[in-house]
Structure 1
């Protein structure tokens, strides 16, 4: 192939004879160069489109072997130049994105921690996704910026421009997803607060619920369409910026083709979806006045200032991606593009979004802790309405209840309370006739209970007194009340066993046979019924525990 048909190639200069050529201060076999299809280019390189070597001093090869191998050669794809403006600016932005990555990890640890029980309706990953996307964006930005360093240093453009452009587009994909997750979770957080106060306030059905299920699918459809229009393609043409002719014929048309243009508009549809999600959350979860003007004003007041900044910066990102699909001079794919435009439009909005998220993360509390605070405030408000004054924290320690009792002690205390067992026997109090509380002279709680006629009960030996008469007791009022209850329980549970209250059969009609015989368990014909004892002839049942009841 003639060298005139190759872009940027020039004829080999003549040498000492017809089979010799001289360039870069050395002489080489022209016949071998032609046989292996080597060409000399205007930028001082010699290449056969498989191998490329520098052909100027001090990188010129010293000798060419008959098999086409150069001795002491230097590859064209070598970082020869120092760091330029684009590379130095990229290093500075890389440091800023590294700091943003560290702060994002701190916020993820703060807001991702759980302090309340997990709910099937609100998953913890919902609040973590915005921080996950922040980490992804920081990582992609670091790769894009540090591979951008070699864009200025390479003598012949090769893979660095592809790597920095590839990860830059992925970064745009991630930052829009970050804004989406922040807005979507804000609506979920509002719903969670409402449901925590009233579980039936927001139902999981209807148009609102179905819309919230479909909005994420619709958003990620357009974002992934942007991804598939840009990423899975041949990037070889982007690196062909080795001469002005290559840029015009290969690199520029590839960087401004229809796929890049369509991808930018897909990202704009995704941005509009974020606006729709925000409006949907405000409509269903925030109170608005009637009337068009009132609704618009209430909607604007309901939007947090954080989302105003995020949405404006995200719109600027979308607009810049559409711009570079039409203007080659401002595109990050252009190795010699406008550095100010590349960083101000391609990296500054993303960095500002991360900064806004970081400030919000440090200011806003953990959602679980905020939910606990709201529950405590609602409980205090309910106590105030009911007039309940909670005891201070030192109350239990003052009363001696600060030590947890063992299960054995709890069971023993319950048994003693039921059985009425006296633990201490205080000295009997002397009787006083002038005591207004009765003959015992004690407190009202220590006196004997009055009978139906209002008089004191009879002693066990008195006539007509029940067989289980009231014994003398000198314990505390609580113990005496327990003992009195235990004595009265048989008569309540088994009325027939109380001699003082006749059975219903005795009240309605007299028995047709001898009462004494019936009570002894003897039938009319004189046969003894030993297997059927009379209830009224049994002693009163003494209840010792709740199991007897």
Structure 2
């Protein structure tokens, strides 16, 4: 590695004459080298401050022109070394993170699907954020790990060392956000189950709701403060690890400056907010406990199993960032850092958080489907309390209550009319087609209909309209009703004295009948 190449100035070796030098078994123009201020270093590089080339075989230049340019030269910042320990471990981790990404997308499709209408109080994106952040963590981890290949292969450290740490810090942010969103959404899911049986069980303007509104804002505030402390900065000094003096004077002070220390503190605040959110949800949506000891026991008892694993793992993320902000030998910013510490403290906690989330995601059902199941269970319990016994599904088919899926509205009304008439088909007129539709059919001109009411009584008008509608929908019943009313009227008119003629009219009806015989005073 570059640190092993001691960067010391050495004189140009002798050549065939005073203007010639032999470097890497190649004769170069010494006069041109001195004219363009090239210096030979003990690590096998030739540099003038603006250009650096390798001088050992097979990368040595073939010829030097008087203008200071070389033929077939190789830059010092080229991947000429074989893959080392850091790159070999990184490739293995990258493959595992790729598997985690695929499984994360499967869980996103499972838990992000909607099976109930979206509610304003519980947005669908709320359940998806933890999987979005998991995808972010997988993607940034894979970029960081694959870039480690060039960190090992570059002869002198340059851009790959910066890129691998740039995406590593973004992965750390994603790991904290995964745990936060998992905890926050679990509280939202508990609230949803709490108010589903009774929407008015919880208020929308109490202290509980205000805390749940402000906590996400405070968390992301400190998470983005961590981002602004780490990412937008001058990364050039991290590349200056080409010899021991440069590491001590430039790289180490930059990697352990105040900004990295403050960034680690912001992640600690994010972790504390996550724990507070978990405690808040358990307090309001789980059975309450009295006393300090009972509250601690209840906090552990009602905490989901996955949070017992991912919350402590999330604490490792800020702890490791704080460690490397003070101890440069364990930092991934160090080109020759401790590989065991880098992968155990830098990548393994995030990887474990991802797989724990994925594993529990496969076992947990979709929340909409689970809510539907809970509603069915509550409905069955209410039916049992009220003594309602639902018939099995085959009962309706056996008793003719099965409704075909493709049945039209006309056929449904026709079936309802047959049920009212004793499951008898309506009698068809002589000149009507065989189908004889019931509703919206033509009204026969000989069919008696009720006269339209022209009076002022609204009640009577509505009764007459209902009578007209009934006569059109159920003509047989209307005809039978009209005939029954006619018979009743005839029966009422059979007994008693004849009706009087109008004033001024004829009296033939009374003179043509025999005189009334009075038998008692009751007949008068």
Bucket of the pairwise TM-score, normalised by the shorter protein: 0.7 to 0.9
- 1:516 partnered with 2:504: no
1:303 CA displacement? 1.0
CA contact (8 A) 1:331 1:337 kept: yes
TM-score calculated relative to the size of structure 2: 0.79
Aligned residue in 1 for 2:157:
157
Distance in 1, matches of 2:213 and 2:484, equals: 64
* CA-based RMSD: 3.0
Give the direction of change, closer, same or farther, for the CA distance of 1:423–1:78 in structure 2 (3 Å limit). closer
Pair 1:424–1:276, CA change in 2 (3 A): closer
Q: Partner of 1:40: helix, strand, or coil?
A: strand
| Structure 2 CA distance for partners of 1:303 and 1:30, relative to 1, 3 Å | same
Flag the 1:343–1:486 CA change in 2: closer, same or farther, 3 A.
same
Q: Is the 8 A contact 2:40 2:47 kept in 1?
A: yes
Distance in 2 (CA, whole Å) between partners of 1:370 and 1:417 is 39
Structure 2 counterpart of 1:410: 412
Q: Name the residue aligned to 1:231.
A: 231
**1:397 Cα shift?**
1.3
Aligned position for 2:318: 318
Q: Report if aligned partners of 2:24, 2:55 keep a CA contact under 8 Å in 1.
A: yes
User: How far apart are the structure 2 equivalents of 1:169 and 1:271?
Assistant: 16
Q: Which residue of 1 aligns with 2:214?
A: 214
Pairing 1:530-541 to 2, within 5 Å after superposition: none
CA distance in 2 between counterparts of 1:498 and 1:237 reads 116
* Shift in alpha-carbon separation, 1:409–1:74, aligned structure 2, 3 A: closer
Per-residue CA shift, 1:184-210, capped at 9, x if unaligned? 000000011111111111222111111
Q: Secondary structure at 1:197's aligned position in 2?
A: coil
In structure 1, the residue matched to 2:481 is 486
The aligned counterpart of 1:280 is 280
Distance verdict in 2 for CA 1:416–1:152, change over 3 Å? closer
After TM superposition, the structure 1 = structure 2 runs for residues 266-277 of structure 1, keeping only pairs within 5 Å, are: 266-277=266-277
Q: Secondary structure at the match of 2:342?
A: helix
Q: After the TM superposition, which residues 330-479 of structure 1 pair with which residues of structure 2 at under 5 Å, given as runs?
A: 330-404=330-404, 405-413=407-415
Distance 1:488 1:220, change over 3 A: farther
Q: Computing the radius of gyration over CA atoms, which structure comes out larger, 1 or 2? A: 1
Contact 1:420 1:483 (8 Å CA) reproduced? no
Cα offset, 1:326, TM superposition: 0.7
Give yes or no for contact 1:83–1:149 (8 Å, CA) kept in 2. Answer: yes
Q: Is the 8 A contact 2:76 2:156 kept in 1?
A: yes
Give the C-alpha shift of residue 108 in structure 1.
1.2
CA contact (8 A) 2:222 2:269 kept: yes
* Cα distance change on mapping 1:515 and 1:348 into 2, 3 Å: same
* Offset from partner CA, 1:96-151 (integer Å, 9 cap, x none): 11111111111111111111111111111111111111111111111111110122
| Deviation at residue 366 of structure 1 after TM alignment | 1.0
Q: 1:307 to 1:247 in 2, by over 3 A?
A: same
Which residue of structure 2 lines up, in the alignment, with residue 186 of structure 1? 186
8 Å Cα contact 1:130-1:181 kept in structure 2: yes
Q: Deviations over 1:155-200 (max 9, x none)?
A: 1111111111111111001110000000000000001111111111
**Cross-structure match for 1:171:** 171
TM-score by length of 1: 0.76
Tell whether the 8 Å contact from 1:418 to 1:482 is kept in structure 2 after alignment. Answer: no
In 2: Cα distance, 1:26 partner to 1:51 partner: 19
Q: Partner residue of 1:327?
A: 327
Q: Hey, what's the Cα distance between the residues in 2 that align with 1:212 and 1:25?
A: 72
Give the distance between the partners of 2:482 and 2:292, measured in 1 at CA.
Answer: 77
| 3-state secondary structure, aligned to 1:117 | coil
Secondary structure in structure 2 of the residue aligned to 1:37: coil
The SS at the match of 2:196 is: helix
**1:288–1:294 CA contact under 8 A, matched in 2:** no
Distance (Å, rounded) in 2 between the aligned partners of 1:354 and 1:32:
58
Distance in 2 separating the partners of 1:406 and 1:355: 52
- The residue correspondences of 1:48-59 to structure 2 (distance < 5 A) are 48-59=48-59
Distance 2:186 2:490 in 1: 72
Unaligned runs of 5+ in 1: 1-6, 426-478, 502-513, 528-549
| More displaced stretch, 10-19 vs 391-400 | 10-19
Distance 1:91 1:515, change over 3 A: same
Cα deviation 1:311-358 (Å, max 9, x = unaligned): 100101110011001111000011111110110000111111111111
